[in-house]
Amino acid sequence: MTTSGNLKPDFSEYKQCRLCPRECAVNRLAGQKGFCGESSDCCVAYCGAHFGEEPPISGTSGSGTVFFSGCSCGCFFCQNAQLSKEHLGEILNFAELSERVLALAQSKVHNLNFVTPEHWWPHIRDLCRNLRAEGVDIPFLWNSSGFCRSELLAEQCQSIDIFLPDFKYADASLAERCMGRRDYPELALSGLRVLVEKKGFLRPFDTSGEITASQGVLVRHLVLPGEVENSLSVLRQLYAEFGEGLPLSLMRQFTPMPECERRQFLNRKVRDEEYAEVCTLAAELGFRRLFLQEEDDGSFLPDFQQRQQPFPGNRKK
């Protein structure tokens, strides 16, 4: 970036890192790694157009995604294990990251989509500020696990336009079994309250992809095999808190990872009847802005070894 007004990035929050609810307090500036498995050296696995998001996000030209490595949520079945567990990616200094993302923003994508961003907030905050100084006016998007600190979300709302948080678990015992934290449901719901209050629901809401969203919240939920009751509880909680107008994406793309077989838990795909039961309740509750997924053919599981290739086409409806 060349704008003379660019300020030196402030990475002081990495010195005693408390960017996620795990609050490891390690000195990432000194190369220490907490739960997320990352130092302060920014690791990026993919930077390019993505056509597999919901239609108001991918549109016709793609969502400009930046997939970061590491993860503070830590689900053992992570569908992006190459990033969260194996830490695949390229180390970029701030200038290199800025140049890559600026080029992406200028490539006619509809938005900039920061994926697994929580533990990279200092980089993203200063990146957003400098991109705006360069005249980039497309929406910035926060694509996250929902495992967050609400007090930081208020700050992030100042830079980010669109939020795509997961709401993975309403069942505290399932959350503990999958990611080691019983407080996920409480934290995720608290974070959603902040986001909806400050940003509202995703808008404009056009299911054709011809008009892309500019602001607001869309919640995602991945149905897990054998855990339909968790999904039904998620829907009931979201309806009770936010009503039928909340934009919601119900995903059925779960793929068993090697760790699932080792644990003998979540070691199969979601059955048609399981996904149908979840969709039926969503309809009965009256959710009006709802994305469902066609039968999973395996294309939703990305291979970041092939990260130079565009991501698959949009199959959400």
CA 92/CA 69 separation, integer angstroms:
12
Pick from 198-202, 222-226, 299-303: least confident:
299-303
At 286, the amino acid letter reads: G
Query: How far does the chain reach from its first CA to its final CA, in angstroms?
Result: 37
CA 218/CA 196 separation, integer angstroms:
9
Tokens 């060349």 found at: 2
What is the structure's pLDDT at 6? Answer: 60
Provide the mean pLDDT of the chain.
93
Per-residue pLDDT for 87 more than 90?
no
Strand order in the sheet with 216-217: 90-91, 43-50, 63-68, 112-115, 140-144, 162-165, 216-217
What is the structure's pLDDT at 147? Answer: 98
Residue 215's DSSP bridge partners are 203
The answer to whether the beta carbons of residues 249 and 218 sit under 8 Å apart is yes
CA 40/CA 46 separation, integer angstroms:
18
The answer to whether the beta carbons of residues 224 and 230 sit under 8 Å apart is yes
The answer to whether the beta carbons of residues 237 and 221 sit under 8 Å apart is no
Per-residue pLDDT for 283 more than 70?
yes
Pick from 168-172, 175-179, 196-200, 293-297: least confident:
293-297
- Domains and their CATH numbers in the chain: 43-306 (3.20.20.70)
The answer to whether the beta carbons of residues 43 and 49 sit under 8 Å apart is no
Work out the pLDDT band at 303, boundaries 50, 70, 90: confident
What is the structure's pLDDT at 119? Answer: 97
Q: Spell out a b/e string for 112-140, using b for 16 or more CB atoms within 10 Å of the CB, else e.
A: bbbbbbbbbbbbbbbbbebbeebebebbb
pLDDT tens for 52-83 read 999 999 999 999 999 999 999 999 999 988 88
The answer to whether the beta carbons of residues 227 and 173 sit under 8 Å apart is no
Work out the pLDDT band at 4, boundaries 50, 70, 90: very low
pLDDT tens for 128-163 read 999 999 999 999 999 999 999 999 999 999 999 999
